Amino acid sequence: MLPDGRDPAQLTFGPGDKSQPEWSPDGERLLFVGPGGVDSFGTALGLDLFVLIPGSGQPPQNLTQSPGDDFDPAWAPNGTAIAFTSTRNNDTELVHVMLVECPEPPDPCVPQEPQRITMTGTFAPEADPTWSPDSAQLAVVARVRGALGRIYLGGFMGGGALFDRSDRIIGADDLAWSPDSALLAFTWKQPGSNEIYVVPPTDSRRTERLTTSIGNKEPSWSTDGVYLAFTSTRDEQPEVYRMTAAGGEQVNLTQNPARDMQPDWQPVLH
């Protein structure tokens, strides 16, 4: 749909839920999570990552095809890699990075074997990756020793955390890095309340709350950094809202009896 909520169009069809849409940096492909079907023995393969070229008439391409669930996709801004969460290793949520080459449509993408990375140096659950605008760093939510989600930053392809955000921010989810790299938007999950906050990646003392109506999550930056789209249940059913980067002008874009959620902004096609 358009940024003001007009002209919604359905892009995916077929059985099963499709979720967590993520546009490619060039705006020509849409990455999403869907059911992976079954193997030759009839065993369900869980959730996989698919990529679709809207308007091409081609079926979605399965990029992962692995046992376990693959979800939380994040396409690197330079287009060369996709980070995601996977339970392919002992059912533990771990972040993987998959290098991928996508030629001009309609040719299919060519994915390489995903590699597990860690920001904590442990086998603690790590999930919900988001890329820095220069594609050099990832921020993830880690749950070390059973703690609530804490934000960690690290270099692409792993290594130790460059900055540990565990000092103050816990219960974090839905990370989104601003296009100018100055802020991380995230959902702060606390008892009885989910709210959206922003914080500079290197200064947890400047955490700023943007929403105040209890049920808000899944922030997504516009490509120019002026707006955030997000999901809210302030009107009972989940709806997609838009607000300024400072939290102002919060408006319901969908106003539909169906469940509308997980927004993502399409880059401008050139």
- pLDDT tens-digit readout, 152-174: 888 776 656 655 666 567 789 99
What distance lies between CA 122 and its chain's CA centroid?
Answer: 22
Task: List the structure tokens of 189.
Answer: 């999950």
Last-in-domain residue among 116, 136, 161: 116
Same domain (yes/no): 180, 100: no
CB contact at 8 A, 262 and 19: yes
CA distances from 239 to 126, 226, 258, 263 (A): 28, 20, 8, 10
Q: Is residue 3 part of a domain?
A: no
| Domain carrying residue 213 | 117-265
Q: How confident is the model at residue 245 (pLDDT cuts 50, 70, 90)?
A: very high
Same domain (yes/no): 127, 90: no
Q: How confident is the model at residue 95 (pLDDT cuts 50, 70, 90)?
A: very high
What DSSP letter does each residue of 91-117 carry, written as one string? Answer: T--EEEEEEEE--STTSPPEEPPPEE-
Q: How many domains does the chain have?
A: 2
Same domain (yes/no): 131, 261: yes
Q: Is residue 213 part of a domain?
A: yes
Same domain (yes/no): 32, 160: no
Q: Which segment, 175-179, 189-193, 234-238, is predicted with the most confidence on average?
A: 175-179
Q: Is residue 1 part of a domain?
A: no
Same domain (yes/no): 94, 124: no
- What SS3 string covers 26-75? CCCCEEEEEECCECCCCCECCEEEEEECCCCCCCCEECCCCCCCEEEEEE
Q: Is residue 4 part of a domain?
A: no
Same domain (yes/no): 211, 105: no
The CATH number given to whatever domain includes residue 93 is 2.120.10.30
Return the pLDDT at 164: 61
Last-in-domain residue among 59, 87, 116: 116
Last-in-domain residue among 56, 89, 116: 116
Dump pLDDT digits (tens) for 22-76: 999 999 999 999 998 777 777 777 999 999 999 999 999 999 988 889 999 999 9
Q: Is residue 223 part of a domain?
A: yes
Residue 106 preceded by cis peptide, ω within 30 = yes
Same domain (yes/no): 129, 217: yes
Q: Is residue 107 part of a domain?
A: yes
Sole residue written with tokens 């008439």: 57
Return the pLDDT at 84: 98
Dihedral in degrees, nearest 10, Cα atoms 14, 17, 23, 29? -20
Q: Is residue 6 part of a domain?
A: no
Task: List the structure tokens of 49.
Answer: 């990552």
Return the pLDDT at 163: 59
Same domain (yes/no): 155, 38: no
Phi, psi of 208 (to 5 degrees): -125, 130
Same domain (yes/no): 150, 208: yes
Phi, psi of 204 (to 5 degrees): -70, -10
3-state SS, residue 190:
strand
CA distances from 204 to 138, 152, 168, 241 (A): 17, 12, 7, 26
Average pLDDT, integer, range 183-190: 93
Same domain (yes/no): 149, 252: yes
Model-wide pTM > 0.75: yes
Q: CA 155, 158, 164, 165 torsion: positive or negative?
A: positive
Same domain (yes/no): 143, 239: yes
Phi, psi of 166 (to 5 degrees): -80, 0
Same domain (yes/no): 81, 162: no
Phi, psi of 57 (to 5 degrees): 80, 0
Q: Is residue 7 part of a domain?
A: no
Return the pLDDT at 113: 96
